Structure 1
């Protein structure tokens, strides 16, 4: 009974702080500090210092700011614009036409940025204006961008995978390679949906006067080269064992600077903006991670995590029913919290349950990333919805409705990954042979 009162008190405080628009990181710190101070005789300040040091001094954490910086450099250079121009000639004969550029440009940019918001903003700045000029159906144009933009978290390198790998103590290299096939699968599902819509109603993508020849398509390949080379360098160096994720992130920054200078699209002002954007993003992420780590340690000392795990285990749920319940929980959390908070707040409770149910932690990491992707397009705090709102004159509710079919497609992909876990585990299995 006492533990229940403690849990409800901490949960109530967290709701009050978050509902009062207090910073997420600060809310987590205050709740954790209050739990240790009022319910236990433990030096909360000393424990905080230990948690902050142990949670941030690992070399793997260095990969996070470097991948963010790489994405910021690409975001402010001409590389993404060239990516659109390079993909366009290859999409003009497929039902849905250039709408597929939203999918494949997002997938390719995701493979070098690691950020969902950066992917959505970069691709959206180029494609939405072009779709409007060509009189494409704006609902499916916006919806496909919102859905495909989430691939920034699933297709490696991924910032949320880094955070999960560090907290769950699993191989980041295996996590990265595990996200590759699910990312391709989700991109193909999105593209298949657009093809189906295009076959049902060709008006969603009106024919254009431009006619591309095979010569045009071949000439467009150099425009795709910088992104493809960066993908090969960053991911190839990790998968071949040539570099750790941290070293590969540094190589990625150097590569993005090289291609940005090669295309003469990164001046001193843009470079300073990239540095400032990377600092702001990393401070936000690290503040949340540190606060959530402190709260996780606090509820661990209070025995809340162990009690919840033991209670759910006593229900003797089947593995699939457990995943179904967790999916509902994460969908609700995704309506209220950002992805990083979802990971660090839930992992101490859910990871032991997942291991006990016989699921692989690598598989659960990818599953969790898909849940976070779904959170990116669910109101009221779906980040991708706000990014697109800044690019268009639509309100968040209208954008959310446009993204709804892609949310449902992600639900279908979750079912596939749960029923056929080898989609996730096949490539990591090759690394251990």
Structure 2
């Protein structure tokens, strides 16, 4: 009964505050105050300062603003345009043609931005007008962009991975390495669907792109060298074990500044804009993390996570059943919360139950991020849907219909990850 009462009060307070438009971080902190006041005898003033300091004075957390800044710098360069030009000769004659540029372009940009929204917006600004002018169906062009944009959360370096690593206290380096194969798997699944759809709907795809000379192909491929070099610098340094996530983030910022300078996109105005954008985003995420940390502390004192773990353990749910229940739960949360809020709000409560049934926290982190990717394209509040709406002017419901197949592909990815956990853990085992 106590667990039901605590859960009911917590959910009610959160829903009321969020429905009133209160910032997520403030809502989480206020919910912690309520839990402390009603269900514990601990003086809240004795905990608040300590929790705020411990969770803000984290060396691991310094990777977050650096990766955000790297993405902000690249967002203001010609990187997406160069990606489209460089990939077109390679992908134009595949079934589905240049629609594959959305998948590969988002995958590459995800590896240097870490943000789903930035990936979708940056690649979409270039690819959507190009695909529309060539006669690609909106369903194919817009759907593939919205689905592929979610790769920004999974392919390292990922901002949500850093948030999960901090919240669950697991190695961010290991999470980055674990995300590589699932990210490539999702890219392959998206491209396979594009090819199949194009074969079944030939009227939605124009004639294959004309072949270009070897010299022109090489010239365009050279446009990919800066971003490939940046990926090698960031991910390669982590994989080789020569840099921590924070050090790799610093390498990424330096590389992004060099790319912007070479591309003549770096000026006082763009530098300042990127720095202010990174500051605003980092402050927003930091407030959410601190609010979640305080709420986690409140729940720890009240005993809620341990009680929940005992209930789940006593229920006899196996790994597959628990994952199925959690997937439905996270998709429902995705209708109302953004991805970062979902991670910080649920990790502290669910990790006890996850560990109790023997699930690897690294594997669970990859699973959680894939499910959060679903939340990015789940109506009515899927953030990628709003980004696409801003780019295209189409209604949320129309975009939702276009992106539904890619949502189902993410469901398939969860099934594959559950059936073959080595997809997420094999590369980590080989590295450590």
Partner of 1:72: 72
In 1, are the aligned partners of 2:92 and 2:209 still within 8 Å (CA)?
no
Change (3 A) 1:136 1:275: same
1:75-94 equivalences under 5 Å are 75-94=75-94
Distance in 2, Cα, partners of 1:187 & 1:6: 41
Question: SS in structure 2 opposite 1:251?
Answer: helix
Shift of 1:2: 4.3
Distance in 1, Cα, partners of 2:118 & 2:170: 26
Partner of 1:15: 15
Distance in 1, Cα, partners of 2:342 & 2:92: 39
Q: Give CA deviations for 1:80-120 in whole Å, capped at 9, x if unaligned.
A: 21111101111111011010000000000000111101000
Shift of 1:209: 6.5
Change (3 A) 1:209 1:430: closer
Question: SS in structure 1 opposite 2:15?
Answer: helix
1:284-323 equivalences under 5 Å are 284-323=284-323
Distance in 1, Cα, partners of 2:2 & 2:210: 71
Shift of 1:207: 2.0
2:104 is aligned with 1:101:
no
Partner of 1:398: 398
Number of aligned residue pairs: give it.
432
Query: Which moves more between the two structures, 114-123 or 28-37?
Result: 28-37
Q: Give CA deviations for 1:184-237 in whole Å, capped at 9, x if unaligned.
A: 000000000000011112222212674423332222111000110000000111
Q: Give CA deviations for 1:333-382 in whole Å, capped at 9, x if unaligned.
A: 11111111111111122212222222211100000000110100001211
Distance in 2, Cα, partners of 1:33 & 1:214: 66
1:164-203 equivalences under 5 Å are 164-203=164-203
Partner of 1:271: 271
Q: TM-score, normalised by structure 2?
A: 0.98
List structure 1 segments (4+ residues) > 4 angstroms apart after TM superposition: none
In 1, are the aligned partners of 2:334 and 2:382 still within 8 Å (CA)?
yes
1:233-244 equivalences under 5 Å are 233-244=233-244
2:352 is aligned with 1:357:
no
In 1, are the aligned partners of 2:305 and 2:352 still within 8 Å (CA)?
no
Distance in 1, Cα, partners of 2:310 & 2:13: 24
RMSD: 1.3
In 2, are the aligned partners of 1:67 and 1:249 still within 8 Å (CA)?
yes
Distance in 1, Cα, partners of 2:354 & 2:6: 25
- Specify every segment of 5 or more residues in structure 1 that has no aligned partner in the other structure, as ranges: none
Q: TM-score, normalised by structure 1?
A: 0.97
Distance in 2, Cα, partners of 1:208 & 1:429: 42
2:131 is aligned with 1:138:
no
